[in-house]
Chains A and B, each alone.
Chain A
Amino acid sequence: MKNKHVNAIVVGSGAGGGVVAKELSYAGLSVVLFERGGWVRYAAHGNDELTAQRSFPLACFFGPDNERYRRVAVDRQGNERIVFPNDWAYHNNAACVGSGTVNYGAMGWRFMEEDFTMKSTYGHVEGSTLEDWPITYADLEPYYEKVEWEIGVAGDDYQNPFAPWRRKPHPMPPFPHNTEAKLLEQAAKKIGYHPFPIPMLRNSEPFDGRPACVHVRNCVGFACPVDAKNGTQNTVIPKAIETGNCELRIHSQVVKILTDSSGRAKGVEYFDRDGQKLTQTADIVILSASATETPRLMLNSATNLYPNGIGNRYDWVGRNLQGHAYCGADGLFEEEIYDDFGPGSSVAVCDFAHNNPGIIGGAMLANEFIKMPYAYSSGYRPPGSARWGREHKEFQKNNYRRNASVRGPVQEMPNFESRVEVAPNVLDHWGMPVAKISGFKLDEDIRTAEFIADKAAKWLEAAGAYKIWKNIPGTGVSGSQHQSGTCRMGNDPQTSVTDKYGRVHEVDNLFIADGSLHVTNGAFNPVLTIMALGYWVSDYIVKEWERGNRFQ
């Protein structure tokens, strides 16, 4: 079967790809948006914690499935093992329409100005490939604004003295605090921190035809029961489809980028839900498959012209894998502070995101989302606590409503050895080499995490916790839902994979629009930046297209 040629192919319908599909189809380009998963609705999984995206001990309800997907995880000693999607070492994000934006916690952070200029702000860091972005906050600011108004963010950055400048306020008022967050807000003020409500990609009031949040506890890791959480699946993707220019092709696994004899991308090879191998051709191909799957696709598309994979002449594809070095502190309180008012996380401080004496970077700090019962049973207790038995059950019963956690996504220093490769001998269901993930955090990241965890502990102490303990991350490679950095943008083709518009250096009509582009991953959850880059990359493509450039 031959598919009709289209103007653009977008691979992956998550934060980046959903935005690109909308922008290109609005500009009149014909688009096929590929998604390996399908539509996911709340009704099908409800409050089932064991398959939700937060801890998925049984399976990943939002995909991918354990039957067809594999990766290879490499530990610090170099031992390789095959891992399934619901193993932490797989570094899973979702595989469904909207991807992680269906089930995320939905924090809608703009990166700060310094997050784009880490090298010039902090200088060289031993062992790190730290670099400035080729674009600045000022370049991206209008696109952040577009995300906030088109996808929908509730917040009030004017309460945050460290917030980067902006032209327009958020379109919705910020979220109210629950009992725990109010307590932490007061405590923060007491010790000179500057608390403010977290910007959220979630409706604090009806927005764009969808209702306001109803404050359930099962929010992060779950789809929203009333569709008040804003992802690409309920905003830009339906809008793209409405134009009539965009076809969303679900349950379709793209396995290869096809190139012609001159090296241009001419389309993709994919398998449909019946396992049929098909081809789709296009004028432009945009990869938005995640910081793991985008480089995997490029590496799996080697040809005579691109013997090491597309865009990989200088061996930068798959390098610099980052997530965040999450750290923080937990505290126990005498009184009940739990009031079952979700999503739970709502108060933050940016006092320690930058400008920490002797520290490179830092992290914002925020209170944790509501912990579901199974998750609470396996963590969130002082070191050395009983893991089972009477004492464990008593701890659950006594402390579930008497605990608070503060967490911070420490900005990691990128390093060349943390990477995504392909494992030539381990094939997925479709016969393609799977992604192999290896690497580590630098000592610098752990040092920063210790500094930040200390600030979290002080916050809980001020709130009146009688017992406090810190969380310091291990040295293993990060990634998971904040995965980024594996096809960084840059001005020098020898030390980056794409130019500043996300165009792969060697291939004029091949673009990337996902977290892979991030040079550094900020002191914040990265999704708003991924969406903003979706608008940024699209804007370039559309402007070129409108002046007649067909990328040939």
Chain B
Amino acid sequence: MDRRSFLKVSAIWTGGAWIVGVPTLSANPYRELTDSEAEIMDALADAIIPPGEFAGGKDARVTRFIDQQIGRYGYLQHDKELYKTCLPALNKNSRDRFGAVFTELSEDRKEEYLKAIEAGEYNNQPTNSDWGSYTPSSFFNTTRNQCMMGFYGSPIHGGNKDYVSYRMLGLY
């Protein structure tokens, strides 16, 4: 346990009975996404907004934006199930297709895969039950838009760390 986690957990212990369910002591800073889901989301955010001279989706904390917004105080609670279902499906579908999960694909292969998803090429296939009631292309459209919100919107919602997108546009 590093010092920060220790302090956090002690605060919860001394904080009293209003805490329902003490979080596990992992380094996962998220409330809604598991380690594995967050890792997929990071990779997805970086594919949608790639790092370069300015931070990409991952370093701009787009995943934190998504996690915050699908949580109980967020504006996108209705999409929690979408992420819980489709992030794992994105990995599994990739393994079935390419022999490697999404997070392990090369940048080029990730782009190619997502373009195919966007075009609806995976919408009708035998393994569709992995995607629950969602289609791969509708998931992509939703998350593409929400990644843009996380990257270009106000940092108060969890993303756009240090106003990185504003700096990229010369606004700060």
**Which residues of A does B touch, CB under 8 Å?**
46-51, 57-59, 217, 338, 340, 372-374, 376-378, 387-390, 392-393, 396-397, 400-401
A to B CB contacts below 8 Å, 16 in the list: A48-B157, A50-B75, A50-B154, A50-B157, A58-B75, A373-B152, A373-B153, A373-B169, A373-B171, A374-B149, A388-B49, A388-B114, A388-B147, A389-B111, A397-B54, A401-B170
Residue picked from B76, B111, B148, B171, most chain A C-beta under 10 Å? B148
Given known A48-B154, A374-B153, contact A397–B168 (CB-CB < 8 A): yes
State which of B48, B52, B152 has its C-beta within 8 Å of the C-beta of A374: B152
| Bound Cα distance A265, B152 (Å) | 50
B166: CB under 8 A from chain A? yes
**Which residues of B does A touch, CB under 8 Å?**
47-50, 52-54, 69, 75-76, 111, 114, 118, 144-145, 147-149, 151-154, 156-157, 165-166, 168-171
Given known A50-B157, A217-B171, A397-B54, contact A389–B149 (CB-CB < 8 A): no
Contact B47 A50 (CB under 8 A): no
Majority secondary structure, B binding face: helix
Contact A377 B171 (CB under 8 A): no
Q: In angstroms, how far is the closest chain B Cβ from the Cβ of A230?
A: 26
Residue picked from B49, B145, B154, most chain A C-beta under 10 Å? B154
Contact A57 B145 (CB under 8 A): yes
| Bound Cα distance A402, B54 (Å) | 19
| Bound Cα distance A49, B148 (Å) | 12
Contact A396 B169 (CB under 8 A): yes
| Bound Cα distance A387, B111 (Å) | 12
Contact A340 B145 (CB under 8 A): no
Contact B170 A400 (CB under 8 A): yes
Name the A residues within 8 Å of B151 (CB-CB).
377
Q: In angstroms, how far is the closest chain B Cβ from the Cβ of A55?
A: 10
Name the A residues within 8 Å of B165 (CB-CB).
373, 396
Name the A residues within 8 Å of B118 (CB-CB).
387
CB-based nearest B residue for A56 = B75
Number of A-B contacts (CB under 8 A): 76
Residue picked from B47, B54, B170, most chain A C-beta under 10 Å? B170
Q: In angstroms, how far is the closest chain A Cβ from the Cβ of B52?
A: 7
Q: In angstroms, how far is the closest chain B Cβ from the Cβ of A384?
A: 14
Residue picked from A58, A373, A376, most chain B C-beta under 10 Å? A373
Given known A47-B154, A58-B75, contact A378–B50 (CB-CB < 8 A): no
| Bound Cα distance A396, B49 (Å) | 11
Contact B76 A58 (CB under 8 A): yes
Q: In angstroms, how far is the closest chain B Cβ from the Cβ of A81?
A: 14
Name the B residues within 8 Å of A388 (CB-CB).
47-49, 114, 144, 147-148
State which of A58, A217, A373, A389 has its C-beta within 8 Å of the C-beta of B69: A58
Name the B residues within 8 Å of A387 (CB-CB).
118, 144
CB-based nearest A residue for B166 = A373
Contact B154 A46 (CB under 8 A): yes
Q: In angstroms, how far is the closest chain B Cβ from the Cβ of A449?
A: 26
| Bound Cα distance A49, B166 (Å) | 12
* 4 other A-B residue contacts (CB within 8 Å) besides A377-B152, A390-B52: A50-B153, A387-B118, A389-B47, A397-B53
Given known A340-B171, A377-B148, A397-B168, contact A49–B154 (CB-CB < 8 A): yes
Q: In angstroms, how far is the closest chain A Cβ from the Cβ of B63?
A: 16
Name the A residues within 8 Å of B168 (CB-CB).
396-397
| Bound Cα distance A407, B48 (Å) | 30
CB-based nearest A residue for B146 = A57
Q: In angstroms, how far is the closest chain B Cβ from the Cβ of A456?
A: 24
Contact A58 B171 (CB under 8 A): no
Residue picked from A48, A374, A392, most chain B C-beta under 10 Å? A374
State which of B50, B69, B156 has its C-beta within 8 Å of the C-beta of A390: B50
Q: In angstroms, how far is the closest chain A Cβ from the Cβ of B65?
A: 10
| Bound Cα distance A389, B107 (Å) | 10
Name the B residues within 8 Å of A373 (CB-CB).
152-153, 165-166, 169, 171
Contact A378 B145 (CB under 8 A): yes
- 7 smallest CB-CB distances across A and B, nearest first, come from A58-B75, A373-B152, A374-B152, A50-B153, A48-B154, A400-B169, A388-B48
Q: In angstroms, how far is the closest chain A Cβ from the Cβ of B112?
A: 11
Name the B residues within 8 Å of A49 (CB-CB).
152-154
Contact B157 A58 (CB under 8 A): yes
State which of A50, A217, A396, A397 has its C-beta within 8 Å of the C-beta of B149: A50
CB-based nearest B residue for A388 = B48
| Bound Cα distance A378, B166 (Å) | 15
Given known A47-B154, A58-B157, A397-B168, contact A374–B148 (CB-CB < 8 A): yes
| Bound Cα distance A48, B54 (Å) | 21
State which of A48, A217, A401 has its C-beta within 8 Å of the C-beta of B156: A48
Name the A residues within 8 Å of B149 (CB-CB).
50, 57-58, 374
Residue picked from B145, B157, B166, B169, most chain A C-beta under 10 Å? B169
State which of A48, A58, A217, A378 has its C-beta within 8 Å of the C-beta of B148: A378
| Bound Cα distance A268, B165 (Å) | 49
| Bound Cα distance A47, B155 (Å) | 10
| Bound Cα distance A397, B111 (Å) | 20
CB-based nearest B residue for A49 = B153
| Bound Cα distance A58, B150 (Å) | 11
